[in-house]
Amino acid sequence: MSTSQLLVLTVLLATCACGASTHRERPAERGAPLGLHIAEATPPTVASETSPELGISPAPGSSRTPEPEFPAAATLEAFSSLTVEKAVVFALDNHPSLVAAAAQVEAAAARVDAAGLWENPEAIMRMEQAPLEDESTTGDADYLLGFSQPIPTGDRLAASRSVAEHERHRAEQALAATRREIERDVRGAFGTALYSQRVAQVRAEFLETSRRQRDIVEARLRTGDAVSTELARIELQQVSDRFEFEHSEALRDQALVSMAMAMASPASVGSVEGDLSLALDLPSLSQLLAELDRNPALLAMQADSAAARARVRLADEQRAPDVRLDLLYRRIGAENRHSFDVGFALPVRLFNDGRADVRRERARAALADARVREARLDLEGALRDAHVRASHALEHMQLLEDEVLPRAERLVQLVETRRAAGDVSLHELLNARRQWLEARLAFLETLHEVLSAWADLSTFLGAGV
């Protein structure tokens, strides 16, 4: 090859190198450290609750999933007179855990679409046997143009799609389980908040009763009908009632904060309203146990176990390597002839035959099966505990409602009648009212126990997806 041809070849190589450099990343912006590429991060797409299959609604004219909409600043005012229905609807529309679970479903559905597809072919463009000493370097070279395509063997693609489908089913059941857990938490927090409000009201009546009793004892002390020890006793009672009232207000405020957290609300909850005395028809334990196998949390674990078993099959299918087909057009420059090349490439499993991968996936499948059994035992234990608490609380509530409260109310009525006739003092009437308030307080505590147990039972009612 002459000196001029070498010079031309050098210029061509330099030109190719310069052209390749144009595809590199742009240099860092001014002010950034050298070697750092500053790029605007693209926010990940998330799923919402409005799509036909997953609760996702794409924007008009765009296939991209819309980002979740959070409450505007105008809605950050405190909720007042919040009902349990509104609280549940708000939580199911805005809770980030549901958005994340829906995004997991969308990602699993995308993996199903991608599973089972062939790998993309590789384009091949190459120059071979280019002489360096001849005067016609490029003219005498051989040029190859073609592609290389991996061809799967066995049922690897079907096994891969089976894994993806089980993972999608697991994500769907996990979404249903998340909905139940959020609704359970909201209903439980609502019952606690409503109970705390009623307790604060009853404690306020206790404090007012002790204040009136102190006024009576002070008046009697001035007339000589009472002694100082009686006044000291009622003052101690008033201090105790004030402490219980302030403590009940603090518990009410904490319950309202917990209510807002259960709803995932950026706004605070000022007050709740509703009826604690609900007609609850407690199903039998046998009915609930029969429905346990349809619980979404258990179905999600079972889907995960099925996916683990599908991965065992996939690992076994992957032991058979893919065959690679190479098909190329060749131009022989020295002879100015056209030809083609065809060949197959097959990996040789000389050192790693894939048995270790199969053994690993079998161990994971056994672990997943054990976790399913463990999850079922945990769910059954939680179900039995919640059912026992609910049944005992309902019996206690029925006793208070049928026996204790009517008698306490009857006692107040009788003392009021005698007070109107002048047979008893106002002090005795206030003592009767304190007994009635104590009965009301015991009834509220029992109702709270019923609602808490019922909220735990709500996760076991209904079927999965």
With respect to residue 68, please indicate whether it lies within any of the assigned structural domains.
no
pLDDT at residue 282 in the model: 77
Would you say residue 420 lies in a domain? yes
Rounded mean pLDDT of 94-103? 94
> What's the pLDDT at 276?
67
pLDDT band at 102 (very low <50, low <70, confident <90, very high): very high
Sheet of strand 337-345: strand arrangement:
122-128, 142-151, 323-332, 337-345
Give the model confidence (pLDDT) of 19-29 as tens digits.
Answer: 444 444 433 33
Average pLDDT over residues 210-219: 88
pLDDT single digits (tens) 339-377: 999 999 888 888 888 899 999 999 999 999 999 999 999
Identify the pLDDT of residue 292: 87
d(CA 390, CA 344): 70
Domain count, the chain: 1
Question: pTM score > 0.75 for this model?
Answer: no
User: If you average pLDDT over residues 298-303, what whole number do you get?
Assistant: 94
CATH number at residue 398: 1.20.1600.10
| Other beta carbons less than 10 A from residue 101's beta carbon | 23
In this predicted structure, the answer to whether residue 315 has a pLDDT above a threshold of 70 is yes
Nearest Cα neighbor of 283 from 446, 453, 465, 85 is: 453
What's CA 52's distance to the chain center, in Å? 20
Q: Mean pLDDT for the chain?
A: 80
Across the range 108-117, mean pLDDT stands at: 91
Higher pLDDT, 135 or 91: 91
Lowest mean pLDDT segment, chosen from 88-102, 186-200, 259-273, 418-432: 418-432
Domain presence at residue 294: yes
User: Is residue 90 in a domain?
Assistant: yes
Q: Answer left, alpha or beta for residue 336, where phi above 0 means left and psi between -120 and 50 means alpha.
A: left
According to DSSP, the residues that pair with 124 across neighbouring strands are: 146
**What pLDDT shows up at residue 277?**
62
Could you tell me the residue range of the domain that residue 14 belongs to? 3-28+83-347+357-460
Q: If you average pLDDT over residues 86-97, what whole number do you get?
A: 93
Q: What is the mean pLDDT of residues 423-450?
A: 88
According to the model, what pLDDT value does residue 240 have? 92
The answer to the question of residue 245 being in a domain is: yes
Could you tell me the pLDDT band of residue 231, with boundaries at 50, 70 and 90? Answer: confident
- Which letter does DSSP use for residue 354 in this model? S
Dig out the tokens for 400 from the structure: 């208070």
| pLDDT over 70 at 162, yes or no | yes
Tally the residues of the chain. 465
Distance CA 102, CA 86 (A): 22
15-29, 39-53, 150-164, 429-443: segment of lowest average pLDDT: 39-53
Is 254:261 a contact under the CB 8 Å cutoff?
Answer: no
Q: What does the pLDDT average to over 59-86?
A: 58
The confidence score (pLDDT) of residue 280 equals 61
What is the predicted pLDDT for the residue at 453?
87
Query: 325-337: string of b/e by CB count within 10 Å (b at 16+)?
Result: ebebebeebeeee
Residue 55 lies in a domain: no
Specify burial of residue 191 (Cβ count, 10 A radius: 0-12, 13-18, 19+). buried
Q: What is the pLDDT of residue 462?
A: 56
Q: Is residue 217 part of a domain?
A: yes
Predicted local distance difference test score (pLDDT) of residue 454: 84
For residues 100 and 153, which has the higher predicted lDDT (pLDDT)? 100
Sequence-ordered alpha helix ranges (H) in 62-155: 84-94, 96-114
Residue 240 makes CB contacts below 8 A (sequence gap 6+) with none
User: Quick one: pLDDT at residue 278?
Assistant: 59
pLDDT above 70 as % of the chain: 81
Residue 120, classed as helix, strand or coil, is coil
The answer to the question of residue 47 being in a domain is: no
CA separation for the pair 32, 294 (Å, rounded): 56
